[in-house]
Amino acid sequence: MASKPFHKILGWAGTYITWIVATILVLFPIYWMFVISARSRVELFGSTSIIQTTFFAENYTKPLSNPVFQRYMLNSLIVATSNAILVAVLALLATYALSRWRLKGSDSIFFWTITNRMAPPAAFLLPIFLMFTRVFRIGDFSLFDTRTGLILLYCVFNLPFAIWLMKGIMDGIPVELDEAAFVDGASTWDVLLKIITPLAAPGLAITAILSWVFAWNEYLFAATLTSVEARTITTGLAEFVTVTGTNWGEMAAVAVLSLIPALIFLSLVQKYIVMGLTFGAVKE
């Protein structure tokens, strides 16, 4: 009998040790990035310590005071946030139609929407580049090097995954709730906005998070389809690699700064993930 508590202690200790090790492995690259951002060029190549006791502020102040990188950061915020909102709204509408209206061939439509995620994004690079520069060109206007172009493009790649994610959540919401609302005189939009949306809020939050993170971190399309005006912060990191060398300190500092909007966005959306899935389901 005395050995049972001992085995429990060993189990708890093993669990905590596992989580501690996993946390260190996940957070150490971020910590090391901060260490690099806090060192001067001389200290960076002259010190091998993983403990940082000094802070070279110029690595942060120089990019922050540069209007170019301010524009890059603003572009990333606008593109990622607009894409997350657009994808969440369209995914909600699409999955509501697929789940509730029982359209003919809805299963085939659902499968077809996910097929463009089965190929690597690089396979679409040349066709999309031609579409942005020639097919959708009207006079002097084109989608090339525009925020609108990036938002729509990211929506094309994020929406299939969002529909796949939301479909299971939508199917889990009882149809009887819709029917009861219709009996009470509610319209389709009333049901969608007042019943479906609150119940699907956790799924919408996850969809928005994943869409936002994808758009914020995406590099390939942003580097190919932008040149000056619509360049994002991820493409701006590549500008620290020059013919005379790589400015590792400023690059790491900009990377650390790029984590802050993501953390803020996740903290704002996180509360919706833990919302009750049955909110509004009980009718008084």
What is the CATH classification number for the domain harbouring 72? 1.10.3720.10
Query: By C-alpha distance, which of 193, 208, 207, 201 is closest to 275?
Result: 201
Note the pLDDT of residue 282: 43
User: Do 50 and 151 lie in a common domain?
Assistant: no
Note the pLDDT of residue 1: 46
Classify residue 200 by burial, with Cβ atoms within 10 Å: 0-12, 13-18, 19+: buried
User: Do 61 and 93 lie in a common domain?
Assistant: yes
Q: Each residue of 87-125: pLDDT tens digit?
A: 999 999 988 888 887 767 667 777 777 777 777 888 889
User: Do 207 and 66 lie in a common domain?
Assistant: yes
Q: Which domain holds residue 20?
A: 1-56
Distance (Å, whole) CA 13 – CA 16: 5
In a domain, 278, yes or no: no
What average pLDDT does this structure show over 243-267? 87
121 Rama class: left (phi>0) / alpha (psi -120 to 50) / beta = alpha
Decide if 59 contacts 252 (C-beta within 8 A): yes
Q: 3-class SS at 165? A: helix
Which single residue is written with the structure tokens 């403990």? 51
User: Do 167 and 143 lie in a common domain?
Assistant: yes
Reported as half-sphere exposure (CB side, CA atoms, 13 A), residue 75 has a value of: 26
What average pLDDT does this structure show over 13-23? 89
Distance (Å, whole) CA 208 – CA 83: 9
What is the value of pTM for the model shown? 0.84
| pLDDT at residue 149 is higher than 90 | yes
What average pLDDT does this structure show over 4-20? 78
In a domain, 279, yes or no: no
In a domain, 284, yes or no: no
Most confident of 20-34, 156-170, 240-254: 20-34
Tokens of 170: 């939508």
Q: 3-class SS at 86? A: helix
What average pLDDT does this structure show over 54-81? 92
Distance (Å, whole) CA 60 – CA 29: 19
pLDDT band per the 50, 70, 90 thresholds, residue 154: very high
Note the pLDDT of residue 85: 94
